[in-house]
A = this chain, B = another copy of it.
Amino acid sequence: MNITGEMIIGFRSVRGTEKGIQAVNPATNELLAPVYLSSGKDNLDEACRLADAAFDIFRETSLEERAAFLEEIANQIMGIGDELILRAMSETGLPRLRLEGERGRTVNQLKLFADVVRSGNWLDIRIDQALPDRQPLPRSDLRQRQIALGPVAVFGASNFPLAFSVAGGDTASALAAGCPVIVKAHSAHPGTSELVGRAIQTAVKLKGLPEGTFSMLFDSGTSVGAALVAHPTIKAVGFTGSRAGGTALMKIASERAEPIPVYAEMCSINPVFLMPAALQARGAEIAKEFISSLSMGAGQFCTNPGLVIAVDGDELDVFMEHASNELVKVAAHTMLTPGICAAYRNGVDRLKHHPKVTAVGEGQTGTESNQCQAGLYEASTEDFLSDASLSEEIFGASSLVVRCRDISDFNLIAESLEGQLTATLQLDMEDYDSARSLLPVLERRVGRILCNGFPTGVEVCHAMVHGGPFPATSDPRMTSVGSAAINRFLRPVCYQDFPDELIPNALKDTNPLRLSRLIDGRRQI
């Protein structure tokens, strides 16, 4: 497949008309051809017009058609072959194994949503049968299904060039729900985006779906994305990125004539609580696992463990020593972009020069450009609680250990935190009572709580919650990973006293789609 530098407007490949961008190989700072010109207003309007025209057809495709479409996207992505991996490597600095793994995750995610679509559970069928003889008034026949919200704008993420970008979790769940998707490709990996975008475009064509089911635009800055979110056609937004970026989109969406939901997954420092008995029993082991989680992928994960909470004492000293010893072995990894690397270095410098923060250890420095030197720092409870900047995310392999006076500080620290994607407890049986006091505080603040693991590695399954209260996300009621992510793009419609000829198949008496249904309040499989 040739990379052309063109956007995808339905079935057409179109060169943008505005300012150009080029990907940078972060390992070499070398510019990568071709130049991608940004979308002008006409291209954006045309993508929206096509999406709007496609919506009523696409949302009523059969469950099997939509599932097969998602599987075809997966096929097409695999069909690109090694060109996709090579291009993604050069655009992101991520190693081959990681990208092959991420491709597998992306493809499996599409297949999971194919299964989700086929199951039809997401339709949440509810039927209350007519009660014509009820006194004092009869009851009508009432039937509810979920339908797609409308065309969705998806923003590619820098740190998951495949699994949370053009054909990632947001796109897969929106398409599964029946929403046409317009992707704003991330400017850090336009070539990867083009390759994947064309795979989707081909799948749309092969499956005979309406042209506007998928489009993809480039943007040299933020104006195309902003215009997309403001466009009346768009009915929801999926975004993974910074707090500044996410809150900017939330503001645009809330100020529209018709406000729309934004699903922004933004920032999280993912506190890890080292409970005393666990720390005493397995401090060295925990230290090793912690540094492994911290430094994985240069720490460029939303669920990176950026905060560790433990009680001061000999056990913590042992942990810190082991952590430092592990840290010096951590090689420098190329970060995703020069901008991310610069922001990481700024954040780490701020910590290093903070009068109340002590450096505990550092990883290796790199010899290539834009490499991340991992770092571990510490502060006291008092100093941590008195400076909100210490709980700000530093995107990369940096973590801050809070030395607590005693375990009662754990609750204080938990209560001081903003919303988080995850919280982790390292604990043994003797710690359970302390955990019982801490858990309610954490449940209020986080989307996922782990025992004796580390938060990196987000399973794509049914029970996953990759979400949490603001500012971890813009909407604590939702998850952006896992099968429940489809719920973000649905809304209920009720049909009252419809004749069988007009009611959607999913709601017919004969249950032709063999759906699980709630009939008069009782679940019937």
- Partner-B contacts on A (CB < 8 A): 55-56, 60, 101, 115, 119, 121, 126-128, 136-137, 139-140, 142-144, 147, 149-150, 250-251, 254, 258-259, 261, 418-419, 429, 432, 435-436, 439-440, 443-444, 446-453, 457, 459, 461-465, 467, 469-471, 474-479, 483-484, 490-499, 501-502, 516, 518, 520-521, 523, 525
Cβ contact of A449, chosen from B121, B483, B496, cutoff 8 A: B496
- Are B465 and A419 closer than 8 Å at their CB atoms? no
| With known contacts A477-B261, A494-B449, A502-B436, A144–B463 Cβ distance under 8 A | yes
Alpha-carbon distance A447/B55, docked complex (angstroms): 18
Q: A137-B457, A429-B501, A447-B492 are in contact. List 20 more A-B contacts (CB 8 A).
A: A56-B444, A60-B440, A121-B523, A126-B484, A128-B462, A139-B461, A140-B459, A143-B463, A144-B462, A144-B465, A258-B471, A261-B475, A449-B494, A451-B495, A451-B497, A462-B518, A462-B520, A462-B521, A523-B523, A523-B525
Nearest-CB distance from A110 to chain B (Å)? 16
- Are B497 and A463 closer than 8 Å at their CB atoms? no
- Are B144 and A451 closer than 8 Å at their CB atoms? no
- Are B128 and A459 closer than 8 Å at their CB atoms? yes
Number of copies of this protein chain within its complex: 2
- Are B56 and A126 closer than 8 Å at their CB atoms? no
When C-beta atoms are compared, the residue in chain B nearest to A477 turns out to be B491
Residues of B within 8 A of A435 (CB): 502
Nearest-CB distance from A129 to chain B (Å)? 9
- Are B465 and A492 closer than 8 Å at their CB atoms? yes
Residues of B within 8 A of A448 (CB): 493-496
When C-beta atoms are compared, the residue in chain B nearest to A125 turns out to be B463
- Are B144 and A443 closer than 8 Å at their CB atoms? no
Residues of B within 8 A of A137 (CB): 457
Alpha-carbon distance A449/B516, docked complex (angstroms): 23
Residues of B within 8 A of A121 (CB): 518, 523
Residues of B within 8 A of A419 (CB): 258
- Are B498 and A451 closer than 8 Å at their CB atoms? yes
Alpha-carbon distance A484/B521, docked complex (angstroms): 11
Residues of B within 8 A of A499 (CB): 429, 432, 451
Residues of B within 8 A of A128 (CB): 459, 461-464
Residues of B within 8 A of A492 (CB): 447, 465, 467, 477-479, 484
Residues of B within 8 A of A518 (CB): 121, 462-463
Alpha-carbon distance A443/B461, docked complex (angstroms): 31
- Are A450 and B126 closer than 8 Å at their CB atoms? no
Nearest-CB distance from A243 to chain B (Å)? 12
